[in-house]
A and B are shown apart, each in its own frame.
Chain A
Amino acid sequence: DAGVTQSPTHLIKTRGQQVTLRCSPKSGHDTVSWYQQALGQGPQFIFQYYEEEERQRGNFPDRFSGHQFPNYSSELNVNALLLGDSALYLCASSFWGAYEQYFGPGTRLTVT
Protein backbone atom coordinates (compact mmCIF):
# COMPACT_ATOMS: atom_id res chain seq x y z
CA ASP A 1 0.00 0.00 0.00
CA ALA A 2 1.70 3.16 -1.21
CA GLY A 3 1.79 6.09 1.13
CA VAL A 4 1.69 9.72 0.11
CA THR A 5 4.07 10.47 -2.74
CA GLN A 6 5.35 13.82 -3.94
CA SER A 7 7.33 14.97 -6.95
CA PRO A 8 9.83 16.27 -7.59
CA THR A 9 12.06 15.72 -4.55
CA HIS A 10 14.10 18.86 -5.11
CA LEU A 11 13.62 21.89 -7.32
CA ILE A 12 15.65 25.02 -8.00
CA LYS A 13 13.93 28.03 -9.53
CA THR A 14 14.73 31.68 -10.18
CA ARG A 15 12.83 34.64 -8.73
CA GLY A 16 9.78 35.50 -10.80
CA GLN A 17 9.37 32.02 -12.23
CA GLN A 18 6.43 29.69 -11.69
CA VAL A 19 6.51 26.20 -10.18
CA THR A 20 4.17 23.21 -9.96
CA LEU A 21 4.48 20.56 -7.28
CA ARG A 22 2.60 17.27 -7.37
CA CYS A 23 1.10 14.95 -4.79
CA SER A 24 -0.57 11.54 -4.86
CA PRO A 25 -2.54 10.72 -1.74
CA LYS A 26 -2.43 7.51 0.26
CA SER A 27 -4.63 4.83 -1.27
CA GLY A 28 -8.28 5.41 -0.35
CA HIS A 29 -7.86 8.99 0.85
CA ASP A 30 -9.94 11.68 -0.82
CA THR A 31 -8.62 14.87 0.78
CA VAL A 32 -5.29 16.61 0.21
CA SER A 33 -3.74 19.41 2.25
CA TRP A 34 -0.60 21.40 1.51
CA TYR A 35 1.85 22.87 4.02
CA GLN A 36 4.93 25.07 3.76
CA GLN A 37 7.80 24.42 6.16
CA ALA A 38 10.45 27.11 6.20
CA LEU A 39 13.85 26.24 7.62
CA GLY A 40 13.74 25.91 11.40
CA GLN A 41 9.98 26.35 11.65
CA GLY A 42 6.89 24.21 11.92
CA PRO A 43 4.76 23.58 8.84
CA GLN A 44 2.22 26.26 7.93
CA PHE A 45 -1.13 25.33 6.37
CA ILE A 46 -1.59 26.57 2.80
CA PHE A 47 -4.90 25.03 1.71
CA GLN A 48 -6.98 21.87 1.56
CA TYR A 49 -8.79 20.22 -1.36
CA TYR A 50 -11.75 17.86 -1.37
CA GLU A 51 -14.02 16.95 -4.27
CA GLU A 52 -11.80 19.07 -6.52
CA GLU A 53 -12.60 22.24 -4.57
CA GLU A 54 -10.53 24.33 -2.18
CA ARG A 55 -12.21 23.87 1.19
CA GLN A 56 -9.96 25.81 3.55
CA ARG A 57 -7.13 28.26 3.06
CA GLY A 58 -4.40 29.57 5.31
CA ASN A 59 -2.76 33.00 5.23
CA PHE A 60 -1.03 32.69 1.89
CA PRO A 61 -1.28 35.11 -1.04
CA ASP A 62 -3.11 34.36 -4.26
CA ARG A 63 0.21 33.50 -5.88
CA PHE A 64 -0.34 30.11 -4.26
CA SER A 65 -3.01 28.10 -6.03
CA GLY A 66 -3.93 24.48 -6.31
CA HIS A 67 -5.92 21.86 -8.06
CA GLN A 68 -7.31 18.45 -7.28
CA PHE A 69 -7.98 15.89 -9.96
CA PRO A 70 -10.74 13.26 -10.15
CA ASN A 71 -8.26 10.59 -8.99
CA TYR A 72 -7.69 12.72 -5.81
CA SER A 73 -4.12 13.68 -6.72
CA SER A 74 -3.26 17.34 -6.36
CA GLU A 75 -0.99 20.09 -7.60
CA LEU A 76 0.36 23.17 -5.87
CA ASN A 77 1.24 26.09 -8.11
CA VAL A 78 3.25 29.11 -7.05
CA ASN A 79 3.55 32.10 -9.37
CA ALA A 80 6.04 34.97 -9.33
CA LEU A 81 8.41 33.17 -7.00
CA LEU A 82 10.11 35.12 -4.23
CA LEU A 83 13.25 34.23 -2.33
CA GLY A 84 11.03 33.75 0.73
CA ASP A 85 9.17 30.93 -1.00
CA SER A 86 12.20 28.70 -0.48
CA ALA A 87 10.97 25.95 1.80
CA LEU A 88 9.98 22.30 2.14
CA TYR A 89 6.48 21.83 0.73
CA LEU A 90 4.58 19.00 2.36
CA CYS A 91 1.48 17.27 1.09
CA ALA A 92 -0.80 15.42 3.49
CA SER A 93 -3.74 13.18 2.72
CA SER A 94 -6.71 12.03 4.76
CA PHE A 95 -10.33 10.98 4.61
CA TRP A 96 -12.66 13.97 4.47
CA GLY A 97 -13.60 14.94 8.02
CA ALA A 98 -10.98 12.68 9.60
CA TYR A 99 -8.77 13.85 12.43
CA GLU A 100 -5.41 12.64 11.23
CA GLN A 101 -3.38 13.38 8.15
CA TYR A 102 -0.56 11.38 6.60
CA PHE A 103 2.37 13.27 5.18
CA GLY A 104 4.54 12.75 2.16
CA PRO A 105 8.34 13.25 2.17
CA GLY A 106 8.05 16.76 0.77
CA THR A 107 9.48 18.77 -2.10
CA ARG A 108 12.45 21.01 -1.30
CA LEU A 109 12.08 24.25 -3.32
CA THR A 110 15.01 26.62 -3.56
CA VAL A 111 14.47 30.04 -5.14
CA THR A 112 17.61 31.88 -6.24
Chain B
Amino acid sequence: AQSVTQLDSHVSVSEGTPVLLRCNYSSSYSPSLFWYVQHPNKGLQLLLKYTSAATLVKGINGFEAEFKKSETSFHLTKPSAHMSDAAEYFCVVSTPTGGTSYGKLTFGQGTILTVHP
Protein backbone atom coordinates (compact mmCIF):
# COMPACT_ATOMS: atom_id res chain seq x y z
CA ALA B 1 0.00 0.00 0.00
CA GLN B 2 1.12 3.55 -0.62
CA SER B 3 -0.11 6.91 0.56
CA VAL B 4 0.87 10.56 0.58
CA THR B 5 0.18 13.29 3.12
CA GLN B 6 0.65 16.92 2.23
CA LEU B 7 0.95 18.70 5.51
CA ASP B 8 -0.42 22.08 4.43
CA SER B 9 -3.56 22.64 2.38
CA HIS B 10 -2.65 26.31 1.81
CA VAL B 11 0.70 28.14 1.84
CA SER B 12 1.00 31.88 1.38
CA VAL B 13 4.31 33.66 0.69
CA SER B 14 5.49 37.02 -0.53
CA GLU B 15 7.18 37.34 -3.90
CA GLY B 16 10.93 36.87 -3.54
CA THR B 17 10.72 34.82 -0.31
CA PRO B 18 11.42 31.08 0.00
CA VAL B 19 8.79 28.43 -0.64
CA LEU B 20 8.43 25.20 1.37
CA LEU B 21 5.70 22.68 0.58
CA ARG B 22 5.77 19.63 2.86
CA CYS B 23 5.07 16.03 1.91
CA ASN B 24 5.31 12.74 3.79
CA TYR B 25 4.82 9.39 2.12
CA SER B 26 4.19 5.78 3.01
CA SER B 27 5.18 2.89 0.78
CA SER B 28 5.78 -0.83 1.16
CA TYR B 29 8.52 -0.77 -1.46
CA SER B 30 11.16 1.63 -2.68
CA PRO B 31 9.04 4.40 -4.09
CA SER B 32 9.36 6.83 -6.91
CA LEU B 33 8.24 10.29 -5.87
CA PHE B 34 7.07 13.24 -7.91
CA TRP B 35 5.81 16.76 -7.59
CA TYR B 36 3.21 17.95 -10.10
CA VAL B 37 1.82 21.47 -10.49
CA GLN B 38 -1.67 22.36 -11.67
CA HIS B 39 -2.47 25.90 -12.75
CA PRO B 40 -6.16 26.90 -12.81
CA ASN B 41 -8.05 25.19 -15.62
CA LYS B 42 -4.87 23.52 -16.83
CA GLY B 43 -3.61 19.95 -16.78
CA LEU B 44 -0.94 18.56 -14.49
CA GLN B 45 2.69 19.39 -15.24
CA LEU B 46 5.59 17.36 -13.89
CA LEU B 47 7.92 19.55 -11.79
CA LEU B 48 10.47 16.97 -10.71
CA LYS B 49 10.96 13.28 -9.92
CA TYR B 50 12.94 11.05 -7.56
CA THR B 51 13.69 7.54 -8.79
CA SER B 52 16.35 6.17 -6.39
CA ALA B 53 19.26 8.17 -7.75
CA ALA B 54 20.47 11.39 -6.11
CA THR B 55 18.41 12.33 -3.07
CA LEU B 56 18.42 16.04 -3.94
CA VAL B 57 16.39 16.47 -7.08
CA LYS B 58 16.27 19.59 -9.22
CA GLY B 59 13.23 20.37 -11.30
CA ILE B 60 11.91 23.03 -13.59
CA ASN B 61 11.43 26.70 -12.69
CA GLY B 62 13.98 26.60 -9.86
CA PHE B 63 12.19 24.03 -7.70
CA GLU B 64 14.05 21.36 -5.73
CA ALA B 65 13.04 18.46 -3.50
CA GLU B 66 15.02 16.29 -1.11
CA PHE B 67 14.22 12.63 -0.50
CA LYS B 68 14.75 11.72 3.16
CA LYS B 69 14.12 8.03 3.72
CA SER B 70 14.57 8.19 7.49
CA GLU B 71 11.87 10.85 7.72
CA THR B 72 9.74 9.46 4.83
CA SER B 73 9.60 13.00 3.49
CA PHE B 74 9.91 14.65 0.09
CA HIS B 75 9.52 18.40 0.69
CA LEU B 76 9.46 20.84 -2.22
CA THR B 77 11.44 24.09 -1.99
CA LYS B 78 12.26 27.15 -4.04
CA PRO B 79 14.62 29.90 -2.88
CA SER B 80 12.60 32.81 -4.25
CA ALA B 81 8.91 32.76 -5.13
CA HIS B 82 7.58 34.34 -8.29
CA MET B 83 4.02 35.44 -8.96
CA SER B 84 3.76 32.80 -11.69
CA ASP B 85 4.36 30.06 -9.09
CA ALA B 86 0.83 30.53 -7.72
CA ALA B 87 -0.91 27.22 -8.37
CA GLU B 88 -1.84 23.93 -6.73
CA TYR B 89 0.97 21.46 -6.08
CA PHE B 90 0.60 17.71 -5.70
CA CYS B 91 3.05 15.29 -4.13
CA VAL B 92 2.78 11.87 -5.78
CA VAL B 93 4.11 8.40 -4.98
CA SER B 94 4.42 5.38 -7.23
CA THR B 95 5.60 1.91 -6.34
CA PRO B 96 6.16 -1.18 -8.44
CA THR B 97 3.28 -3.52 -9.02
CA GLY B 98 4.32 -7.13 -8.91
CA GLY B 99 7.90 -5.96 -9.19
CA THR B 100 7.49 -5.05 -12.82
CA SER B 101 5.55 -1.91 -13.44
CA TYR B 102 5.22 1.55 -12.01
CA GLY B 103 1.62 2.13 -12.92
CA LYS B 104 -0.57 3.63 -10.28
CA LEU B 105 0.16 7.15 -9.10
CA THR B 106 -1.15 8.03 -5.67
CA PHE B 107 -1.70 11.75 -5.16
CA GLY B 108 -1.74 13.83 -2.04
CA GLN B 109 -4.63 16.21 -1.39
CA GLY B 110 -2.74 19.15 -2.82
CA THR B 111 -1.29 22.40 -1.49
CA ILE B 112 -2.50 25.69 -2.87
CA LEU B 113 0.35 28.17 -3.10
CA THR B 114 -0.53 31.87 -3.03
CA VAL B 115 2.15 34.44 -3.86
CA HIS B 116 1.61 38.03 -2.71
CA PRO B 117 3.31 40.95 -4.45
Q: Which residues of A contact B (CB under 8 A)?
A: 4, 31, 33, 35, 41-45, 48, 55-56, 58, 90, 92, 96-106
Contacts and interface: CB of A to CB of B under 8 A. Distances in A.
A41 B97 CA distance: 24
A100 B104 contact: no
B32 interface: yes
Contacts of B105: 33, 35, 43, 45, 92, 101
Contacts of B46: 100, 102
A45 B105 CA distance: 7
7 contacts: A48-B104, A92-B105, A97-B100, A99-B32, A99-B94, A99-B102, A100-B34
Q: Which 9 A-B pairs have the closest CB atoms?
A: A42-B107, A103-B44, A105-B43, A99-B32, A56-B103, A103-B43, A48-B103, A45-B104, A43-B107
Interface of B: 32, 34, 36, 42-46, 49, 51, 90, 94, 97, 100-110
B12 to A, nearest CB: 18
Contacts of B94: 99
Contacts of A35: 105, 107
Given A41-B110, A99-B51, A33 B43 contact: no
Contacts of A33: 103-105
B94 to A, nearest CB: 6
Given A90-B43, A102-B46, A104-B43, A42 B102 contact: no
A90 B92 CA distance: 15
B107 A44 contact: yes
Nearest to A58: B104
